[in-house]
Amino acid sequence: METFGPSKEFVEDPGFAQARIVALSELELAEVDAPIIDLVSAFAEMPHCFTLQSCHGHFVCEPGDRPDNNAPIPAGQTGEVRYRIAYVAMCIEPSDRGRALHDALSSITKIDPAYVQFGSPDWFWDRRVNSYALQVEPGPHRLHDEVRLAAEEARHVESIRGLFFQELRALVASEARAGRAG
């Protein structure tokens, strides 16, 4: 599955409010990866966006590991690690606050542009205009949702993923303050 595409310009979306209501009514937090439930919940509180999909990102190190495990890479891990992409995909309203959120999300790529991408995957956009995804994936593999990495690179991805979610938490905290002030 291709997971990345260049960021697209906003288009008018008269159906945004209704689509948001439907998306929030269908949101099952129990189905969200436990380490990022707080983020998905925080995005649900923002009136200018709603999440489409998300994944904490998973490192599958041994044949018996569950593909959705949230365990860190073991300290002594060597060889190949299967990495399943960390990302948050959302629909953003083409409003002033939505544009500010878009810009803030796109700036998170500064963590490590070789490993963090922001864009508009066609398969999201085709279902819902103004859809954007922010993902952690080694650049050469940015079009895929899973990749096999050497343990050393997988550890680097794991550290980038930690920074990625730290920045997202700071962003949602800032958005919450702006929402209370505005």
- Amino acid in the structure at residue 165: F
What is the mean predicted confidence (pLDDT) over 131-153?
89
CA distances from 147 to 30, 86, 105, 140 (A): 26, 12, 24, 10
Q: Give every CB contact of residue 11 below 8 A, 6+ residues apart in sequence.
A: 94, 129, 130
Q: What is the pLDDT of residue 2?
A: 58
Q: What is the pLDDT of residues 25-60, one digit of tens each?
A: 999 999 999 999 999 999 999 999 999 999 999 999
- Secondary structure (3-state) at 71: coil
Domains of the chain: 16-181 (3.30.1960)
Q: What is the pLDDT of residues 54-105, one digit of tens each?
A: 999 999 988 888 888 888 999 999 989 999 999 999 999 999 999 999 999 9
* Pair 94, 100: CB distance under 8 Å: no
Q: What is the pLDDT of residue 24?
A: 97
Q: Token pair of 98, please?
A: 């939505």
* Pair 84, 53: CB distance under 8 Å: no
Q: Rounded mean pLDDT of the chain?
A: 92
Q: What's the predicted TM-score (pTM) here? A: 0.92
Question: Confidence band (pLDDT; 50, 70, 90) for 180?
Answer: low
Q: What is the pLDDT of residue 51?
A: 97
> Distance between CA atoms of 55 and 86, rounded to whole angstroms?
5
CA distances from 82 to 2, 10, 146, 157 (A): 17, 35, 7, 11
The burial class, CB within 10 Å (0-12 / 13-18 / 19+), for 180 is exposed
> How far from the centroid of its chain's Cα atoms is residue 23's Cα?
17
